[in-house]
Amino acid sequence: MEGVDHLAFERNKAQFDVDAMKIVWAGSSHALEVSDRMSRLVASDPAFRKDNRAMLGRKDLFKNTLRKAAYAMKRIIELRLSEEEASMLRSFVDEPAFIDLHWGMFVPAIKGQGTEEQQKKWLPLALKMQIIGCYAQTELGHGSNVQGLETTITFDPKTDEFVIHSPTLTSSKWWPGGLGKVSTHAIVYGRLITDGQDHGVHGFIVQLRSLDDHLPLPGITVGDIGMKFGNGAYNSMDNGVLRFDHVRIPRDQMLMRVSRVTREGKYVQSNVPRQLVYGTMVYVRQTIVSDASTALSRAVCIATRYSAVRRQFGATDGSLESQVIDYKTQQARLFPLLASAYAFRFVGEWLKWLYTDVMTRLQANDFSTLPEAHACTAGLKSLTTSATSDGIEECRKLCGGHGYLCSSGLPELFAVYVPTCTYEGDNIVLLLQVARHLMKTIARLGSGKKPVGTVAYMGRVEELMESQSDVQKAEDWLNPNAVLGAFEARAARKAVACAQNLSKISNPEGGFLEFSNDLVEAARAHCQLIVVSKFIEKLQQDIPGKGVKQQLEILCSIYALFHLHKHLGDFLSTGCITSKQGSLANDQLRSLYTQVRPNAIPLVDAFNYTDHYLSSVLGRYDGNVYPKLYEEAWNDPLNDSVIPDGFQEYIRPMLKQQLRNARL
Whether the CB-CB separation of 178 and 237 falls below 8 Å is answered with: yes
Look at residue 656 in the predicted model and tell me its pLDDT.
85
For the segment 178-195, the average pLDDT, to the nearest whole number, is: 96
Looking at the DSSP assignment, which residues form a beta bridge with residue 537?
none
Is there a single domain that holds both residue 239 and residue 294? no
pLDDT of residue 321: 86
User: Would you say 374 and 590 are in contact if contact means Cβ atoms under 8 Å apart?
Assistant: no
172 in the same domain as 295: no
Distance CA 364, CA 369 (A): 12
Is 177 annotated as belonging to a binding site? yes
Measure the CA–CA gap between 66 and 61, rounded to whole angstroms.
9
Strand-pairing partners, residue 154, are 163, 193
Write the Ramachandran bin of 568: left for phi over 0, alpha for psi from -120 to 50, otherwise beta.
alpha
Q: Does the structure show a pLDDT above 60 at 1? A: no
Question: In this model, does residue 122 exceed pLDDT 80?
Answer: yes
Q: Is the pLDDT of residue 300 over 60?
A: yes
pLDDT tens, 616-647? 999 999 999 999 999 999 999 999 999 999 99
Mean pLDDT across 585-597: 97
Q: What mean pLDDT do residues 115-120 have?
A: 96
What beta strand segments (E) does 126-208 contain? 133-136, 152-156, 161-165, 173-174, 185-194, 197-207
**Full DSSP string of 479-492:** SHHHHHHHHHHHHH
Same domain, 233 and 302: no
Contact 186, 176 (CB under 8 A): yes
Contact 403, 309 (CB under 8 A): no
Residues 236 and 283 in one domain: no
The stretch 386-393 carries a mean pLDDT of: 98
pLDDT tens digit sequence for 466-509: 999 999 999 999 999 999 999 999 999 999 999 999 999 988 88
3-state secondary structure of 607: coil
pLDDT for 352 beyond 70: yes
Q: How many Cα atoms are found within 13 Å in the side-chain-facing hemisphere of 325?
A: 24
pLDDT digits (tens, 9 = 90+) for 71-91: 999 999 999 999 999 999 999
Please give the share of the chain, as a percent, with pLDDT higher than 90: 82
Indicate whether 3 pLDDT > 70: no
Listed in sequence order, the residues at least 6 apart from 177 whose beta carbon sits closer than 8 Å to its beta carbon are 96, 98, 100, 101, 134, 237, 238, 239, 240
User: What is residue 472's predicted lDDT score, i.e. its pLDDT?
Assistant: 96
Query: Which stretches does DSSP call E strand in 166-309?
Result: 173-174, 185-194, 197-207, 220-224, 240-244, 247-250, 259-261, 267-269
Please report which confidence band the pLDDT of residue 186 belongs to, taking 50, 70 and 90 as the band edges. very high
Please give the pLDDT value at position 478. Answer: 97
pLDDT of residue 280: 73
Residue 332 lies in a domain: yes
Tell me the C-alpha to C-alpha distance, in Å, between residue 351 and each of 26, 364, 376, 536, 546.
15, 20, 8, 15, 27
3-state secondary structure of 244: strand
Judgement on whether residues 336 and 246 belong to the same structural domain of the protein: no
Structural domain contains residue 456: no
Query: How far is Cα 174 from Cα 401, in angstroms, rounded to an integer?
Result: 36
Positions annotated as catalytic residues are 424
pLDDT value at residue 659: 65
**Closest of 186, 201, 200 to residue 106, by C-alpha:** 186
Q: pLDDT at residue 165 above 90?
A: yes
Query: Structural domain tally of the chain?
Result: 2
**Are 442 and 553 in a shared domain?**
yes
Q: Are residues 371 and 419 in the same domain?
A: yes
* Residue 155 pLDDT > 90: yes
Distance CA 76, CA 71 (A): 9
At position 446, the amino acid (one-letter code) is: G
Q: Contact at 8 Å (CB) between 135 and 105?
A: yes
Give me the pLDDT at residue 458, please. 95
Domain containing residue 507: 277-449+474-605
With respect to residue 227, please indicate whether it lies within any of the assigned structural domains. Answer: yes
Instruction: For residue 654, name the pLDDT band (cuts at 50, 70, 90).
Output: confident
Domain annotation covers residue 399:
yes
pLDDT, the chain, mean: 93
pLDDT of 323 higher than 60: yes
319 and 265 inside one domain: no
Annotated binding residue 154: no
Do 256 and 394 fall within a single domain?
Answer: no
Kindly state the percentage of the chain with pLDDT values over 70. 98
Domain boundary (605, 628, 654) is at: 605
